[in-house]
Amino acid sequence: MTTLIKRMNRQMSDIPRTSVPLNMLLIASGCLIYTLGMKSVLIPNQWFAGGITGLAMILHYWFEALDVGWMYFFLNIPLLLLGWFHISRRFMWYTIFGMLFFSYTASRIQLPPADIHEPMLAVIFSGVICGVGGGLILRSIGSAGGLDILGIYLNKRFGVRPGVVILFANSIPLALGSYLFGLEKVLYSIAFLFVYTKTMDTVITGWNQRKSVFIVSDLSHEIATHILSEEHRGITILKGEGAYSEKEQEVLFTITSLTDLPKMKELIFSIDPNAFVVVNNTSEVLGRRHGKLKVY
């Protein structure tokens, strides 16, 4: 026991002290908010989430004596062992905390059904509430268990995209629920998952999502100078060539925020009305002023 405590202290000592309470607060808040949406809407309507949570809910609907919270914990034990030996211990300590906190809150909190009589409004309400909770958890450097552990392991070991794992994880309880409870409940659950994932993405990326901008112009140097001095954005000059004209052309590349994008477009076209501008959404931007890589 003493050896385990010493090992735990060495592993946790590598984490900045200020980040430990912050990550625990994110995980605990996310678990609590998710539980509120699950207990007030999903369970009273016998809808279900994806992954391990969905399987725990189905088992609860099938055998009411089985508690959702503790079924979730027991179903997570094989994944917990997988993560303990193949993913960083720091990530797993946070995940153990998240699993225990979620299981406890899901077991102890009892709420009356939300006073929402229109099913689609209930879907939207629960999707937003649970999405905020799930997003807060994923903004930490841990998790609350579930197939996030499997997704991280398969990505690190075999390069499998986490999205593939999530799709597979969501399909299992949906298929099982369709067989046991009928198609209508599955369709409402699919609608819930859609709202849930969209809300979670918004919480993770923030309201001010980054945009990548490509600019092709004969006045590229002048545009680059103004972006640097007025917008205070870094910019990269790429060398290109027109396929038709066979003329060498400089292409500017920069990153900006959603709120600053209109000002940047106005600046570009005020300098060169004939500029060619391509704006793309970004899933994630790391480095310099845009954020750091989350290390598990």
Predicted confidence at residue 6, as pLDDT, reads 40
Rounded Cα distance, 280 and 255, in Å: 10
Q: Taking the domain 210-290, which CATH number applies?
A: 3.30.70.120
pLDDT at 290 over 70: no
Per-domain residue ranges for the chain? 2-205, 210-290
Mean pLDDT over each residue of the chain, to the nearest integer: 86
pLDDT tens digits for range 47-82: 989 889 999 999 999 998 899 999 999 999 999 999
Instruction: Report the b/e string of 193-213 with b at 16+ CB within 10 A.
Output: bebbbebbeebbbeeebbbeb
Tokens of 185: 């409940």
pLDDT tens digits for range 179-216: 999 999 999 999 999 999 889 888 877 655 789 999 99
